[in-house]
Structure 1
């Protein structure tokens, strides 16, 4: 388990000012698509400067062909592959912009033993930089029965899933915080 800052202070996972390891975790964002399970969706992630903000940009094409349908960027929260206790906070805050498309944040915990299991909360990425607040209570279990274990979170993903077409999002900040 990785120790984190006290719950009253936000824990900045990344502000994208460093192009390699994330600011607060020491781990790197990775880009995944449904190709890991035979799908044909495509995506590319890059660090860019947009409107004066450093950002992680994910651009791709979601295809439902071949039982596919997602693109994502994901961040392991602990450099040793373990889990992190995020229970001192009450949710995830993002600063994003996009094309008014639906996105999700997926959390994976120690209870997520299969690749398709996660806890999911959706949001829309507007055309202008905007803050998004996702309380842990908004995350729904997907293909598992266990409640969200905020004391044992392994990974956070930003995902476009289930809707075919061209997708694009820029993320300037990701943090755990209380509201």
Structure 2
């Protein structure tokens, strides 16, 4: 039997403008296909060495996960525009903003649950092994190529 722990994120918008890029977008709380969701929309531009828009949240306060090591991975209920997106995880091991653990998913036009085991996330620009006990930030990104982002998350959970 699968067990889950529902997270209640306070999503914030981040774009490549923090490093000189020109991608634009937003995160909005909305209703999509009769579900409350947070929706990331925008234009991903590669100009000025950019290339991402993101919605992310920190695991602090009432959504702190002190025991993420007891869980197998993340489940996200998502819908979108049939594009590929990334989930990026940051841990307290990582000190540089470009370092992360990454995995991709496809956001189809209908709602679906995407299950992402922690052991499926790949280290990016560092040599650490993923330690779920040090998980501190989760992001959903449109990244790496010019396109129109449109992805929504109605729920995010830890599972085991």
Taking the aligned partners of 1:142 and 1:67, their CA distance within structure 2 comes to 18
Give CA-to-partner distance per residue, 1:67-101, whole Å, 9 cap, x none: 00000000101139x87431111011010000110
Query: Which runs of structure 1 show a deviation greater than 6 angstroms over 4 or more consecutive aligned residues?
Result: none
Q: 1:36 to 1:84 in 2, by over 3 A?
A: farther
Is 1:171 aligned with 2:153?
Answer: yes
Name 1:25's counterpart in structure 2: none
More strand by share: 2
Matches within 5 A, 1:1-179: 9-14=3-8, 22=9, 28-79=10-61, 84-178=66-160
Q: Which runs of 5+ in 2 are unaligned?
A: none
CA RMSD of aligned residues (A): 1.5
Taking the aligned partners of 1:123 and 1:145, their CA distance within structure 2 comes to 23
Deviation, 1:9, is: 3.5
* Structure 2 counterpart SS, 1:176: strand
Taking the aligned partners of 1:29 and 1:165, their CA distance within structure 2 comes to 22
Deviation, 1:170, is: 1.1
Aligned length: 158
Give CA-to-partner distance per residue, 1:6-65, whole Å, 9 cap, x none: xx7411113xxxxxxx3xxxxx21100000011000111100011110000110000011
Q: 1:164 to 1:36 in 2, by over 3 A?
A: same
TM-score of the aligned structures, taking structure 1 as reference length: 0.84
TM-score of the aligned structures, taking structure 2 as reference length: 0.94
